[in-house]
Amino acid sequence: MMHGWNTDDRTPLPGTLSEEARAAFARLGSRHCYAVGDVLISEGAYAQDLIVLHKGIVKVTSRLDGENESLVDIRIAGDVVGEMAALGPGPRSATVTACGDVVATVVRGQELKPFLAANPEVWSALDTVLCSRLHRAVRRRLEFRECSVVVRLARVLVELAALHGRKGWKALIINVNLSQSEFAALTGCSTETVRKALAHLRDEGHITTGSQKTEVLDLGSLREIAGWSVPDTS
């Protein structure tokens, strides 16, 4: 387990359910396919659909100041999105956009609510996902206040490598195209500040960057910068 942001909220929801509950949950909704740039959820909308990701990666963004869009999180296959609006009233708090080909199940609110009422195990699991993500958000804000930008960036890179990394010839390639402004949003700093932090990690030989592609050359050293222990593989 990662000793940082990648904790309980990254456990695929179906994997937390009993076989019976998992089978019942799998019968809900309808499958949809999305292409890069397609919007699965729109910020401000009042729909209460829950979306279960089966394939692909999506970005969660929000316009906190009403104008500038900020990257809030990245979700992958096994994750659910839209759980906050699905479990409570109010508009969508963020936009969810496909980063590539995505396959997902959309469970309409009018179908989900009676199902959850009849299946408290699934309701409890969704509530756990929501609470874990809120806890993760609070922990991230505290770390932003206490850690340097380089440490924050190293933690983001370690998490991205763990979730989306694929082995290349000499490096671990992060299989998500992020701009410097998106890295800035994930680390809570300005684009110029994150540019300097990326340059520092690159100059020290920990990563390479270019054309929105990031490669991790030494995951162990990056974990040390992040302040996280290297897993024992012995």
Summarised one tens digit per residue, pLDDT across range 86-98 is: 877 778 888 999 8
Q: Residue 59: helix, strand or coil by DSSP?
A: strand
140 and 168, same domain (yes or no): no
What pLDDT, on the 0 to 100 scale, is given for residue 3? 36
* Token pair for 90: 């109010």
Instruction: State the number of CA atoms in the 13 A half-sphere of 220 facing the CB.
Output: 4
96 and 201, same domain (yes or no): no
What pLDDT, on the 0 to 100 scale, is given for residue 121? 93
Q: Which residues of the chain are modeled with pLDDT < 50?
A: 1-9, 231-234
What pLDDT, on the 0 to 100 scale, is given for residue 212? 65
Distance CA 176, CA 167 (A): 14
127 and 45, same domain (yes or no): yes
What pLDDT, on the 0 to 100 scale, is given for residue 144? 65
The region, left, alpha or beta by phi > 0 then psi within -120 to 50, assigned to residue 210 is left
| Those residues with Cβ within 8 angstroms of residue 161's Cβ, 6 or more apart along the chain or in another chain | 172, 174, 216, 219, 222
What pLDDT, on the 0 to 100 scale, is given for residue 159? 82
CATH of the domain at 209: 1.10.10.10
86 and 116, same domain (yes or no): yes
The single residue listed with the structure tokens 């402004």 is 181
156 and 119, same domain (yes or no): no
153 and 128, same domain (yes or no): no
Domain that holds residue 153: 149-226
Whether the Cβ atoms of residue 128 and residue 196 lie closer than 8 Å to each other: no
